[in-house]
Amino acid sequence: MDTRIAGPTDPQDVDQERIAAAVREIIAAIGEDGTREGLAETPERIGRLYAELFSGLREDPL
């Protein structure tokens, strides 16, 4: 029996680049330099974080 619910379940199904672009906008909006060391890779890192965090979103817990 398939207990999966329709929708993204694999981290690759999450639009990580779109998330990264949003994080770049947030960094710019707070006046930070997104190219400085320590922040340069943050948007991609956050994109991967959300992909992993929501990877089981459509899984049936039972």
CA angle at residue 29 from 27 to 35, to 5 degrees?
35
pLDDT of residue 9: 54
Q: What is the CATH number of the domain that holds 43?
A: 1.10.286.10
Q: Using CA atoms, how far apart are residues 45 and 60, in angstroms rounded to an integer?
A: 27
**Model confidence at 36, in pLDDT bands (50, 70, 90)?**
very high
Q: Is the pLDDT of residue 17 over 60?
A: yes
Domains in the chain, number: 1
Question: Is residue 60, in this structure, part of any structural domain at all?
Answer: no
Percent of the chain with pLDDT over 90: 63
**Is the pLDDT confidence value at 10 over 70?**
no
Decide if 26 is inside a domain: yes
Residue 16's pLDDT band (cuts 50, 70, 90): very high
Tokens of 45: 């890192």
What mean pLDDT is predicted for residues 30-55? 95
